Structure 1
């Protein structure tokens, strides 16, 4: 079955709807093919699926007005942030409007004493941190890409700092959300906890734009650490590196980041960022705390690494050196793509109990080596989450099929050991069948019932997470 056969035909955008949108948004209602194409592709292996038009919103009130039009004229709306999703979340499989929130980029207020910030959904992660740095605070969720806060909420993002600071689920306190019929909900508060009714905030985090359009978010901030130190250590095999990560977590060392790069990923970032890292499986780690605490943590980790064959344990304490290392880590995906010009990456992620991590990565490596498809592995191994990117020729159906088979086998192993089919990428189009396998028919039926209750016309990002809501 091709990628598109299982989806409905696009419903299109009627002339009355287009006229109403043009009147409401003026030049911010765009139908140029280049603009539509830009909003019709992400980092997934799927082909271009362009919307009928793109709207740039500036306020919650405008989003509400748009959704009222969508409800009246029955056209789909796909929320769009930075376009960095990897499971097809932003693709317009039924046409309609791509609602671009990137111009809603204001930091509304910062409450330094409470360590919170309220921002519009289009604020980028790096811009947010720049705006709160003067208060001695930072927002720790770091998925790698300079994603928007709204997009990070929609996919329940996490990333390199999650092992210490948690995911978006733990760092979002409140949101303003526009429902499919245009109603505006304010869920959550700036208080650190609440027992008031259903937790609608957590329901909407990870909903991938299918339940509402997130327009404002109140975030939990954290103090900038007094001392920060990063280290790299290479190992004779991926298994030795993973075992070290497992022992770090089981020892209770409060490491801030613990990232795995396999030899293929290290080779790619060396070429891309002009580094001279040893091209072997590597852990890239970071420690936050007081000067003495960071030193003690690092000494304990170095001992564990040496016991597992770790060598070339190098420190980076200067900010510019740490920045260079983490920039290289964040470039791993793009760097890997450049090792095979013209390729696309079929990228999958899974998250497993820490005790099952070594087995799962070992099996993924063995399968990929046997298949002969170029690949790379990176992982937030401190919390059991790892990613494999299979670099395929997009014109080769054989390679595409091979990569999908490898991805399916990887995910099925993760589910079989009480893990999840996705630690942070989300379901989108790519993992709908695994959601059923992981949670069961009854759980998916309950999710679909929630979708019908909040979006009975199936206007918000239709066809994602599950089909036939």
Structure 2
């Protein structure tokens, strides 16, 4: 491997869009989680698919690692260049290429963020629904198979990507999928690359499914004395088939944090935050049915928000919860982990996780997308305390084992990256080496985001 030779060749292609400045390297060595800073050897800023292809061809020739970068908001160290090499920053590839309103789809470059896309779509009456909270790039969201608050109604990135353009490890450019809504022609290569975390190729273009703006939107917040009661209300709601657009849980500790952050004055009990999309009559009917479910499970204070500004304020509570929680412990950092279980096992998973957190001595508020059985624990640690980190890792390990024991997955949306790599064999069994075989077939020299997702020994 000759990273320096690759860098010299890349400079002739990219000029000053290949950076080795300390500030650029430092920016691309950071992460949103607890992992150590890891600097790449250089950062490339391509503007076209052909440039990405040339970057990869050069890196393949010199067996130089290649790691994609979107906005750096992933939580399992996905975008860290842990074996050095070139970080390929997609922020210059940020164009909306084609909007097909009649077919309700859009073609974009990977650096487009979800907020930017929806702003571009405002005049069309369409929107892109996947909402992970952070204003992530759509390429990164596809690469990590992101989901979020609206997945209970609209699905995850897996359900909303129709096709991709991908640069493979040898520099070849391929297209997967079509704009047709279904196909039985060949292997589902789109599904293969969505969630592959940059280990099989670099996504350079996406075709996404869009949704029509609903006629009416309503949101509400309600409190419960216990998490069990809140989760039982969620299970009943799902079983009744009430078409929720969002159904989110904040435990009492999370509510205390958002109260302190935003002076909200919510009762410091577990809360559900919900949203309904549809016609005026449909939203009203769904909300009334849900209100009855809430009452049956001891819920209180069904506060309705029909105006856009009230709804935005409500969802800022949820989206700002992570930052509110981290502010409760100045000088601390967070080890954030998630798990996802069948909805019937959700109460058990949360209750047992809360008991583990209480016994650990760490602060660990819980929140999540409970409509699809997914929740997160924000484990606060002193970055200078080895015992705190060990305790948090032990809690995360217990959560992963619990998820598997309950028939779930060790990560519902954060992905594998570095943090969950050790659980892949336990979750997938004999299927995990098959993933390794696919990796070796497409990337025999393991230059594409090495050290992530699969066993590469």
Q: Same fold (TM over 0.5)?
A: yes
For 2:455, the equivalent position in structure 1 comes to: 467
Distance 2:407 2:264 in 1: 38
Distance 1:125 1:392 in 2: 31
For 2:408, the equivalent position in structure 1 comes to: 419
Distance 2:209 2:431 in 1: 30
Distance 2:16 2:317 in 1: 39
How do 1:16-415 residues align onto structure 2 when only pairs under 5 Å count? Answer: 16-415=5-404
CA-atom RMSD, angstroms?
A: 1.0
**Post-superposition shift, 1:345?**
1.0
Distance 1:27 1:274 in 2: 47
Runs (4+) of structure 1 moved beyond 4 Å? none
Q: What is the CA deviation profile of residues 421-467 of structure 1, one whole-angstrom value per residue up to 9, with x for unaligned ones? A: 11001000011121111111x21110000000110110000000123
Distance 1:468 1:114 in 2: 41
Distance 2:119 2:395 in 1: 40
TM-score normalised by L of structure 1: 0.96
TM-score normalised by L of structure 2: 0.98
Q: Report the 3-state secondary structure (helix = DSSP H, G, I; strand = E; otherwise coil) of the residue aligned with 1:202.
A: helix
Distance 2:262 2:13 in 1: 45
Q: 1:447 aligns with which of 413, 435, 449?
A: 435
For 1:3, the equivalent position in structure 2 comes to: none
Q: Report the 3-state secondary structure (helix = DSSP H, G, I; strand = E; otherwise coil) of the residue aligned with 1:186.
A: strand
Distance 1:368 1:59 in 2: 47
Distance 1:395 1:295 in 2: 51
**Post-superposition shift, 1:277?**
2.3
Higher deviation after alignment, 262-271 or 206-215? 262-271
Q: What is the CA deviation profile of residues 9-33 of structure 1, one whole-angstrom value per residue up to 9, with x for unaligned ones? A: xx6722x322211111111111111
Q: What is the CA deviation profile of residues 355-401 of structure 1, one whole-angstrom value per residue up to 9, with x for unaligned ones? A: 00000000001110111101111110000011111000111110111
Distance 1:130 1:279 in 2: 35
Distance 1:33 1:381 in 2: 42
Q: 2:3 aligns with which of 3, 13, 17?
A: 13
Q: What is the CA deviation profile of residues 318-361 of structure 1, one whole-angstrom value per residue up to 9, with x for unaligned ones? A: 10110111122111111111111121111111111010000000
Distance 2:398 2:423 in 1: 11
Are 2:218 and 2:276, in contact at CA under 8 Å, matched by a contact in 1?
Answer: yes
Are 1:12 and 1:94, in contact at CA under 8 Å, matched by a contact in 2?
Answer: no
Q: Report the 3-state secondary structure (helix = DSSP H, G, I; strand = E; otherwise coil) of the residue aligned with 2:274.
A: strand
Are 2:446 and 2:456, in contact at CA under 8 Å, matched by a contact in 1?
Answer: no
Q: Report the 3-state secondary structure (helix = DSSP H, G, I; strand = E; otherwise coil) of the residue aligned with 2:352.
A: helix
Are 2:219 and 2:311, in contact at CA under 8 Å, matched by a contact in 1?
Answer: yes
Task: Report how many residues are paired.
Answer: 457
Structure 1 gaps of 5+ residues are: 1-10
Are 2:2 and 2:63, in contact at CA under 8 Å, matched by a contact in 1?
Answer: no
Structure 2 gaps of 5+ residues are: none
Q: What is the CA deviation profile of residues 305-329 of structure 1, one whole-angstrom value per residue up to 9, with x for unaligned ones? A: 1111110110111101101111221
Are 1:12 and 1:96, in contact at CA under 8 Å, matched by a contact in 2?
Answer: no
